[in-house]
Structure 1
Amino acid sequence: MSEKKNVLVAGANGSTGRIIIDLLKKSEKYQPIAMVRKPEQKKQFEKENVSAVLADLEEDLNHAVKGAYKVIFAAGSGGKKVIEVDQKGAKRFTDASKNAEVEKFVMLSSMGADNPGISEELGDYLRAKGNADDYLQNSGLAYTIVRPGALTDEDGSGKIQLKEKLDKQESISRANVARTLVEVLDDDVKQNRIFEILDGETPIEKAVRD
């Protein structure tokens, strides 16, 4: 059996990030490294036998990404620091990933990132996400950008609908989003593509490969 490859998860302590870490722990191919901001979060992950690294998206990230094979950006400011975290933080993470020559960058984006005008309330956030997505696309890194609808805390069904544009406003469970992000780490999956996802009827592993 080949050695498991390191996947660095930015936003590991968030609601979606924690599910991603759990999925990677069970993976036969990958092992997670949790990127967190606070020493107590690092200790908590290490207690759970997960490697963790301290880093802040508002500062230099090169040390954090060293040694990562692939990365998942699942961090978010929760609307508090959209420019500093959701936009500039994602760009910093992209630059550090490029410097570390990571094999693939998986970005958790959002439906509407390509059309921030659809929501007055979320406009600034969607603009920040769109700018971060554009930056990643132009970075030269292999990437997959995943844009889910509104997130819920429902149990994951393991089934989604996936298209470049779904043209409807519906929701998707965080569990299904996390599974999609882990599934698209593989090299045979929608490389250098952007797509939207909602809860649906197609098994995730099939949806991301069709």
Structure 2
Amino acid sequence: MANALIIGASGQIGKQAVGKLLDAGHHVVAPVRNKDKLSDIEHPHLSVVEQDLEKDFSAHFEGVDTVVFTAGSGGNTGAEKTLLIDLWAARNAVNYAKSAKVPKFIMVSSIGAGDPDAVESPIKPYLVAKHMADEHLIHSGLHYIILRPGTLLNEPGTHLVRTDMPTNKNEAVIPREDVATAIVESVARENNNDVITYLFKGETPIAQVFQ
């Protein structure tokens, strides 16, 4: 079982991932700004620590074999927080993981992060931040899995996805729960090949994608 550090554990995807990882028998370290947001999860394999991602958080990487970065500044913040969390905190997490010789880094990115110039959207600054964070991870020398989900939905997951880009924009969606499940499958994955994959609603079992 993995010792997983979940950065962004109090977010909508992160919190579901924490629960699923614990259910699967993994140990989870969850650095969060507000510990109360995880107060409803009690488990002997969960360690919740208070942490501001805009400060040094390198101490949490020792003894970890998987890092998951699923933190985000949120839709109600401006470009400043996007830079500090989605880009700079992600960049720092990669550097801390490299210094601690963490074997695997899982980045929750976004559908448009591969080429932000191809997207006409008010969230382009966010996509640029995600792109730069992804590029930093790719060139870090760490073993990585980068997840690029489509538009996120607050509905029950199906555990079924597709990884090719839909031609219909309305089909480029995925429940947050399925992204959380993809995180769990990424943590459990034994193959060490690096992966960058889209995630949308589909018909392929998530476990099969990460075999």
Aligned to 2:200: 198
In 2, the alpha carbon distance for the partners of 1:208 and 1:76 equals 24
> C-alpha deviations, 1:14-64, integer Å up to 9, x for none?
111110001011113x2211121124346x267454211222221112112
Aligned to 1:74: 70
Residue 22 of structure 2 aligns with an amino acid whose one-letter code is K
Q: How far did residue 167 of structure 1 move? A: 5.6
> C-alpha deviations, 1:151-208, integer Å up to 9, x for none?
0011010100014x55653110001011011101234347312111101101101122
Contact 1:184 1:190 in 2 (8 A): no
Q: Point out where structure 1 has 5 or more consecutive residues left out of the alignment.
A: none
Aligned to 2:136: 135
Q: How does 1:19-168 map to 2 (within 5 A)?
A: 19-28=16-25, 30-41=26-37, 44=39, 47-49=42-44, 50-79=46-75, 80=77, 81-117=81-117, 118-163=119-164, 165=165
Please give the root-mean-square deviation of Cα atoms over the aligned residues, in Å: 1.9
Contact 2:35 2:48 in 1 (8 A): no
> C-alpha deviations, 1:127-155, integer Å up to 9, x for none?
00000000001111110000000000110
The alignment covers a number of residue pairs equal to 203
Moved more, 110-119 or 133-142: 110-119
Q: How far did residue 100 of structure 1 move? A: 1.3
Match of 1:5 among 2, 6, 12: 2
- CA, structure 1 residues 180+39, in 2 after alignment: closer, same or farther (shift >3 Å)? closer
Q: Point out where structure 2 has 5 or more consecutive residues left out of the alignment.
A: none
In 2, the alpha carbon distance for the partners of 1:109 and 1:190 equals 19
In 2, the alpha carbon distance for the partners of 1:174 and 1:110 equals 12
Residue 197 of structure 1 aligns with an amino acid whose one-letter code is L
Runs of 4+ in 1 over 4 A off after TM superposition: 45-49, 165-168
> C-alpha deviations, 1:64-87, integer Å up to 9, x for none?
222211111110001421100000
